[in-house]
Structure 1
Amino acid sequence: MKKLYILCLLMAANHFYAQTEIDGIMMDKNNFCTGAIYEYSSWDNYWEGNFKRENLNFGTISTQKISVNGNYGITDKLNAIFSVPYVTTKASSGTMLGQNGIQDLSLTLKYLFYEKEIKKNLLSFYILGGFSIPTTNYVADYLPLSIGSQSKTGSVRLMSDYQFGSLFATASCSYIKRSNIKIDRNTYYSDRMHYTNEVDMPDAVSFNARAGYRTKRLIAEAIFDTWTTQKGGFDITTNNMPFPSNTMNMSKIGFNGKYNLKSVSGLSIIAGANHVVAGRNVGQSNAFYGGLFYIINFTSTKTKTTTNEN
């Protein structure tokens, strides 16, 4: 459900806009963009396999998340990005208690390896490598209210971006490798009985496409995003709780916006929303988010310090 795909979250910045790993923007050398984002999402309908249903035992599942994010320009063509989210879950009905805590630390290196101007338009290609690790010992086997899956992940993403005037289009695809996890019981059933506490976590493939309007002051974009579990997952069984290694497929649409303030140089406001339009073993969630980001130019600081010393 909502937490079913956030379990597999590779980068918290994946649904946000502030020079993230899946947009066609690079942070300049020695510039550091940092900020926080608040997100609220909820769902009361979900897919049990391909069957869409509701469950009055827990009513509406809501998730609140506050993420601290940052992006540092190592060079003009190489960026380092991090994100740490604090997640809180809640069920409106029933006896299941919500969970809260710090989820996973995610790190990504983003490299611009090809750029060419074509009739005053700009074509760019990127390669990205990332990983994430759990930061706390939260409970993974408590879906749909757990805050994460406890799986360590690694990913490789290829991305292209084409800017033509003030318009742009970006497309990317990634493969996510996930480590096995251990749960607090010695047996569990998937499509067969397992007499172990180790759970095989299936890998996943993610595709993202976005297009819209982009200038130095304003960015507005529409987004289409998919998440597809690879071989090894299985469906939620009828009237049963979901499990960390379930097949979790999802398609969603949304929009992002970013505005750089004129009155405060380096300060930007971001906002957006997304909606799950189709899925398998996930909730049909609606999410809304907003945040503030600020760019610190360490080059200017170094230059001023050197000038003062001279």
Structure 2
Amino acid sequence: MTNRIVKNTIVVASLLFGSMDTIAQTAFDGFTMTKGELCLVADYGQMTWTEYWEGKRLRENLNVGKFTSKQFMPMIGYGITNRIAVFATVPHISNSSDAGYMAHMKGWQDLQMEAKIQLSKSRVWKGTLLTFGTIGFSTPVNDYIPDFLPYSIGLGASTAQARIIGHYKLDKGWFATVQTGYIAKGKIKVDRETYYSDDQYYSNEMAIPDVWDGSIRAGFDNKHLRVGLQYNWSLATSGSDIRRNDMPYPGNRMNRESVALTGLFWIPGIKGLAINAMADQTIAGRNMGKSFGWMAGLQYVFKPFQKKQQ
């Protein structure tokens, strides 16, 4: 295959990490932060694939070989009140492959911020039912190239999102969480004056499909650990498929389903410090890599502004 075909038959990988929530306190789970709590997280992860979906067709590309995306994700969360918390993160992405002649790309990606609001809390049977709403946005912090897939570290679009979360936890520790949200994405500018996807476009502006996503999670949580099994899904609301041996676009329809195993372990003797980890396997997709990913790191929760008791 020519170098052009190598470039043209691969799909974005950095989006996969966008749907792999870390296991620390996040805006997407059903757990709460109290007023004044500060949560610091440092996670590292990798995602790899050798096969990808070209539209609905699963294939490989020997000139790409094994594709690897590495991510470092620092995150900070803060409890403004007992019902409202805010979160911010800026991932650092590094994408490369072990075959072909394409240069790898790396850099800081997008600033992502969310606010999580507890809407209700009630006793139901032998447990507690919580509901939350979140709003958030993201915007690139680096002038990276979005139209160089899969090596691009992101899609380059500013986004706005909202979601709803339902969380039920039995008194004995078993819990279930269901969440879904909608992500609206803005247009981007690419280094070309014309391109063809579902039609011929004479413009350097490219529309990025909005995304409807969600997850279902079940697990166990107590003061020592938290473990869970999770099903994730992400569906683009528009976009075209990658044509046979043609180039992918940031505006392609990218769908994904995966299953994940998550865990968090509070370190004995060090209050507020925990180890978190995740393993995630893609089970279905469209214009995406059939990837396996993992992530692990540390989180520290404390109240830096709390006055010490006399």
The TM-score bracket by the shorter chain reads over 0.9
Are 2:219 and 1:212 aligned? yes
Shift of 1:195: 0.9
Are 2:135 and 1:97 aligned? no
Q: Tell me the distance in 2 between the aligned counterparts of 1:104 and 1:114.
A: 31
What is the one-letter code of the residue matched to 1:207? G
Q: Tell me the distance in 2 between the aligned counterparts of 1:141 and 1:221.
A: 36
Aligned to 1:42: 48
Summarize deviations over 1:17-50 as a string: whole Å, max 9, x none: 1111111111111010002100011001011011
Shift of 1:6: 3.2
Shift of 1:117: 1.2
Summarize deviations over 1:30-79 as a string: whole Å, max 9, x none: 01000210001100101101110001121111000000011100011100
Say which of 181, 187, 191 aligns to 2:188. 181
> Cα 1:196–1:8, aligned 2, differ >3 Å: closer, same or farther?
farther
How many residue pairs match? The answer is 301
Are 2:9 and 1:6 aligned? no
Q: Where do 5+ consecutive residues of structure 2 fail to align?
A: 1-8
Please tell me whether the aligned partners of residues 229 and 248 of structure 1 are also in contact (alpha carbons under 8 angstroms): yes
Q: Tell me the distance in 1 between the aligned counterparts of 2:295 and 2:247.
A: 28
Say which of 254, 265, 274 aligns to 2:260. 254
Shift of 1:120: 3.6
Aligned to 1:190: 197
Say which of 76, 85, 93 aligns to 1:87. 93
> Cα 1:8–1:187, aligned 2, differ >3 Å: closer, same or farther?
farther
Are 2:37 and 1:31 aligned? yes
> Cα 1:13–1:147, aligned 2, differ >3 Å: closer, same or farther?
same
What is the one-letter code of the residue matched to 1:4? V
Q: Tell me the distance in 1 between the aligned counterparts of 2:202 and 2:114.
A: 36
Summarize deviations over 1:85-104 as a string: whole Å, max 9, x none: 10000011111111000000
TM-score, length basis structure 1 = 0.93
Aligned to 1:291: 297
Give identity over the alignment, percent: 34
What is the one-letter code of the residue matched to 2:104? G
Summarize deviations over 1:140-197 as a string: whole Å, max 9, x none: 0000110001100110100100001210000011011000000011111102211110
Q: Where do 5+ consecutive residues of structure 1 fail to align?
A: none
> Cα 1:291–1:13, aligned 2, differ >3 Å: closer, same or farther?
farther
Summarize deviations over 1:120-143 as a string: whole Å, max 9, x none: 400010000010000000000000
Q: Tell me the distance in 1 between the aligned counterparts of 2:10 and 2:221.
A: 30
Aligned to 1:143: 149
Are 2:57 and 1:19 aligned? no
What is the one-letter code of the residue matched to 1:187? T
What is the one-letter code of the residue matched to 2:191? D
Shift of 1:3: 6.7
Please tell me whether the aligned partners of residues 99 and 147 of structure 1 are also in contact (alpha carbons under 8 angstroms): yes
> Cα 1:2–1:110, aligned 2, differ >3 Å: closer, same or farther?
farther
Q: Tell me the distance in 2 between the aligned counterparts of 1:6 and 1:168.
A: 30
Q: Tell me the distance in 2 between the aligned counterparts of 1:141 and 1:13.
A: 20
Q: Tell me the distance in 2 between the aligned counterparts of 1:294 and 1:128.
A: 23
Q: Tell me the distance in 2 between the aligned counterparts of 1:191 and 1:119.
A: 52
Please tell me whether the aligned partners of residues 10 and 248 of structure 2 are also in contact (alpha carbons under 8 angstroms): no
Please tell me whether the aligned partners of residues 13 and 21 of structure 1 are also in contact (alpha carbons under 8 angstroms): no
TM-score, length basis structure 2 = 0.93
Aligned to 1:56: 62
Q: Tell me the distance in 1 between the aligned counterparts of 2:31 and 2:73.
A: 20
Say which of 91, 106, 116 aligns to 2:112. 106
Structural RMSD (CA): 1.7
Aligned to 2:5: none
